[in-house]
Structure 1
Amino acid sequence: MRSITRFITTSDIVRIALGWSAFGALLLATPLLSPPVPAPLLITALVSIVAVILVCAFGVVRQAEALARRLGDPYGSLVLTLSIVLIEVVLISAVMLGPGEHATIARDSVMAVSMIILNLVIGLALLLGGIRHRGLAHNRTGTSAYLAMLVVLIALAFGLPALIGQDGAYTTAQAIPVVIVTLALYGFFLFRQMGAQADDFTEIDERLTLRAITSTEPDAAAPGIRDVLREHRTEILTRLGLLVVTVIPIVLLSHDMAALLDDGLARLGAPTALAGVLIAAIVFLPESITAIRAALGGEVQRVINLCHGALVSTVGLTIPAVLIIGMPTGQAVILAETLPDLMLLTVTLLLSISTFAAKRVTAMHGAVHLALFAIYTIVLFS
């Protein structure tokens, strides 16, 4: 017990208590927060929820960075990514299994996440990191693997249903092979990323690379992931538990505030799709903060592992989950995107491939991604 408490601080306990208390208070206040909510109460509730989420987010970032230092990449980034994405997938699945029609929830959620991660978060990270470090070298083999996965998964998710589906949805005969291919491809990707190709997702240190080329002395073998897990098992399990327990209230609060956001945006005359974008931004807030901090520290491969890895996991898990739920329940799962959104997704993928084809990414690359996100917001309001 004493060894566990070494890794738990008072601030960790306060953040966890605050997050779960806020979620409990929100459940108790549900009758008061049923639309239409008085404007002062609506503003107070939204500000309070966002404040709690921000406090909890920094706790998640703290644990994620500690795990990343202990485990190294890609394992450290993968822990944070899968923790958030799996909870998100479970919540989307729960919404589909609940009352009401939710035919486009997966499409709208993943579209918002795609634009936020590939353009807003990566754009900010590259802009700020590029300004501080002038240029950042990344591991092009691993980055290429992420982008190859995204091209195929996004095409299967949003492009193909528009061409061969019925009213934008796969038929059962089409959905079964799509689920099998998606899960098999994602599983193989994780297997290679955590195994034989783990080195393709690690940071590039140009000085160490040059030294390795010019030196004839053998390098000391770095400890493998199994050795690290065995030696630091208590710390890793404790921090992983703290991360999960802190991140769950963030996701629960962000989804519970959906009705409040819909109510507020409707009064302002804003598009309803904007609520999905704001919720997606809040859900992935811990990952976004971690990515920007990594970029400022010159760790661009960690930015890529967090951002591209999160989107690969989101598409690779969400789409099969909703299709599997849709088949036995008879629910329509509309995945085909509109033409403007398909164009934006295509341009985003082409821009990402162009950006990370360079040996070094710069602030200019980040600025272009941010410009594309600005265009996305224009389309949202059109």
Structure 2
Amino acid sequence: MNYLRKLPAIFSRNAFVLLCWGIWLGLHGSNLILSVNLSLVPMFAAALVIFCAMIGCIFTVNHYADQLAELLDEPFGTLLLTLSVAIIEVSLMLVVIFEGDKNPSMLRDTVYATLMIMLNGMIGLSLVAGGWRHFEQTFNLRGAMSFLHLIVPLVLILLVMPNSTLSTGGPTLSPVQEIFMGGLCILVYVLFLVMQTTRHKALFVHQHVDNEHLYISVPPQHSSSYKRRIAIAGAALGLVVAIVPVVLLAEYLGDVINHGIEVLHAPVDLAALIIASLVLAPEGLSAYRAATANHMQKAMNICLGSALSTIALTVPCMLLVAGLQNIDLNLGVIGGSSTLLYATLLTTLITLSSERTTMLQGNVHLMIFLSYLFFIFYP
């Protein structure tokens, strides 16, 4: 009887998942290619429906990841969310890069957009929202710096160094370099995950005492190990079922993005911003909610973990595929984007150099993010 009472809530929670599956079955069954078989207005109307359905589905992914977070404790919950998002991100970029016109700059532009959104947009919004409500907030300094300790060198190696390599011309790497750097980055990231979830797990859980608040990580109490295993299995199954239709619909959305940018003569960076926004929406909302609930440690884990998973997992996966397929990818950030990238890394380092955050720090991050948005349309 209890299960029957939960059916309406389960159905409403998974409505977007069912919608995504229905859309994919309809498109796949009719062999419809949106960018070819439809005129401009119907194509973008269909694309808007697909985009909204995928957004809802990704929020469902976030819901199941949060369930697993409560059952498995931190940092496993945020780790599962970032890995789920990385799967979706890789799927979207594989389609956009290797289908249609084979845009060689899409990887770089999407990764750059992800860094701008998470390290400036979401960290800035979280600090402003949290500072407005709680004045000052604290987090585990060593854990945050552990993220940044990997983010900074990987960003410089993967997004700056290709401008200076001699094996190829332009901001690219040779296939051998792509395979080597891809494998090396994945290895380093796996080692980081092992340390994050085992020996140094305490660095990513806030345990700090001050005059007003006591922050102690307390594992949730479960009624029985059997019920817990059932709940974990159910949440994991829901996570997988919600991710798959997003991955399948990536091909159709990628067709529309490529065709729309070409037809409308829109900035190429806009496509990267759309992809990054779609993928990062649930993580951004989770970070905002955590900050307003005075859980700045979780907000930092989400923002920094997402940026790290993109640069240490998404990029290497794409490099391995490009190296094996002998496809050139433009990786080096050029022009004014490099200045914004350096400013982002430096500002993030300064922000994380103290355990206390305020609205002032958030305003600086938002200033850089708004500059990024402005220069997309006025480069």
Same fold (TM over 0.5): yes
1:135 aligns with 2:136: yes
Separation in structure 2 between the aligned mates of residue 374 and residue 233 of structure 1, nearest angstrom: 45
Report deviation, 1:358. Answer: 2.0
| Aligned 1:250-329 pairs, distance under 5 A | 250-253=246-249, 256-264=252-260, 269-329=265-325
For the Cα contact (< 8 Å) 1:146–1:308, is it kept in 2? yes
Give the aligned partner of residue 55 of structure 1. 56
For the Cα contact (< 8 Å) 1:136–1:298, is it kept in 2? yes
SS in 2 for 1:34: helix
Separation in structure 2 between the aligned mates of residue 370 and residue 144 of structure 1, nearest angstrom: 21
Question: Identity, % of aligned pairs?
Answer: 29
Report deviation, 1:368. Answer: 1.4
Give the aligned partner of residue 215 of structure 1. none
Moved more, 146-155 or 104-113: 104-113
* Amino acid of the structure 2 residue aligned with 1:194: T
Report deviation, 1:322. Answer: 2.6
Of the three residues 238, 241, 245, the one matched with 2:234 is 238
Report deviation, 1:279. Answer: 1.6
Give the aligned partner of residue 199 of structure 2. 196
For the Cα contact (< 8 Å) 2:61–2:239, is it kept in 1? yes
Report deviation, 1:271. Answer: 1.0
Report deviation, 1:14. Answer: 2.5
User: Any idea what the Cα deviations from partners look like across 1:105-163, whole Å, max 9, x if unmatched?
Assistant: 32122112111111112222222122111121011101001111100111111111111
User: Do the aligned partners of residues 211 and 265 (structure 1) sit closer, same or farther apart at CA in structure 2, a change above 3 Å counting?
Assistant: closer
Give the aligned partner of residue 77 of structure 2. 76
* Amino acid of the structure 1 residue aligned with 2:331: L
User: Any idea what the Cα deviations from partners look like across 1:86-116, whole Å, max 9, x if unmatched?
Assistant: 2322443466565753432321221121111
* Amino acid of the structure 2 residue aligned with 1:339: G
Give the aligned partner of residue 355 of structure 2. 359
Give the aligned partner of residue 340 of structure 2. 344
* Amino acid of the structure 1 residue aligned with 2:209: E
Separation in structure 2 between the aligned mates of residue 32 and residue 318 of structure 1, nearest angstrom: 27
User: Do the aligned partners of residues 364 and 35 (structure 1) sit closer, same or farther apart at CA in structure 2, a change above 3 Å counting?
Assistant: farther
Q: Can you give the 5+ residue segments of structure 2 that lack an aligned partner in the other structure?
A: none
For the Cα contact (< 8 Å) 1:35–1:260, is it kept in 2? no
Using structure 1 for the length normalisation, give the TM-score. Answer: 0.85
* Amino acid of the structure 2 residue aligned with 1:125: S
Report deviation, 1:266. Answer: 5.3
1:156 aligns with 2:157: yes
* Amino acid of the structure 2 residue aligned with 1:12: R
Separation in structure 2 between the aligned mates of residue 153 and residue 64 of structure 1, nearest angstrom: 26
User: Any idea what the Cα deviations from partners look like across 1:177-208, whole Å, max 9, x if unmatched?
Assistant: 42343122212111100111111011345359
For the Cα contact (< 8 Å) 2:137–2:296, is it kept in 1? yes
User: Do the aligned partners of residues 222 and 101 (structure 1) sit closer, same or farther apart at CA in structure 2, a change above 3 Å counting?
Assistant: closer
Aligned pairs, number:
373
* Amino acid of the structure 2 residue aligned with 1:378: F
Moved more, 101-110 or 69-78: 101-110
* Amino acid of the structure 2 residue aligned with 1:236: I
User: Any idea what the Cα deviations from partners look like across 1:211-254, whole Å, max 9, x if unmatched?
Assistant: 79xxxxxx9x96699xx988722211211221232234345445
SS in 2 for 1:111: helix
Give the aligned partner of residue 42 of structure 2. 41
Report deviation, 1:38. Answer: 3.6
* Amino acid of the structure 1 residue aligned with 2:79: L
For the Cα contact (< 8 Å) 1:42–1:264, is it kept in 2? no
User: Do the aligned partners of residues 261 and 335 (structure 1) sit closer, same or farther apart at CA in structure 2, a change above 3 Å counting?
Assistant: closer
For the Cα contact (< 8 Å) 1:74–1:198, is it kept in 2? yes
User: Any idea what the Cα deviations from partners look like across 1:55-104, whole Å, max 9, x if unmatched?
Assistant: 32442332232222222211111111101102322443466565753432
Moved more, 108-117 or 259-268: 259-268
Separation in structure 2 between the aligned mates of residue 131 and residue 161 of structure 1, nearest angstrom: 41
Separation in structure 2 between the aligned mates of residue 88 and residue 40 of structure 1, nearest angstrom: 27
Separation in structure 2 between the aligned mates of residue 17 and residue 344 of structure 1, nearest angstrom: 40
Give the aligned partner of residue 190 of structure 2. 187
Separation in structure 1 between the aligned mates of residue 100 and residue 35 of structure 2, nearest angstrom: 17
* Amino acid of the structure 1 residue aligned with 2:77: G
Moved more, 341-350 or 15-24: 15-24
Q: Can you give the 5+ residue segments of structure 1 that lack an aligned partner in the other structure?
A: 213-218
Using structure 2 for the length normalisation, give the TM-score. Answer: 0.86
Separation in structure 2 between the aligned mates of residue 112 and residue 186 of structure 1, nearest angstrom: 21
Separation in structure 2 between the aligned mates of residue 268 and residue 328 of structure 1, nearest angstrom: 33
User: Do the aligned partners of residues 293 and 30 (structure 1) sit closer, same or farther apart at CA in structure 2, a change above 3 Å counting?
Assistant: farther
* Amino acid of the structure 2 residue aligned with 1:10: F
User: Do the aligned partners of residues 223 and 36 (structure 1) sit closer, same or farther apart at CA in structure 2, a change above 3 Å counting?
Assistant: closer
Separation in structure 2 between the aligned mates of residue 32 and residue 372 of structure 1, nearest angstrom: 38
Report deviation, 1:357. Answer: 1.3
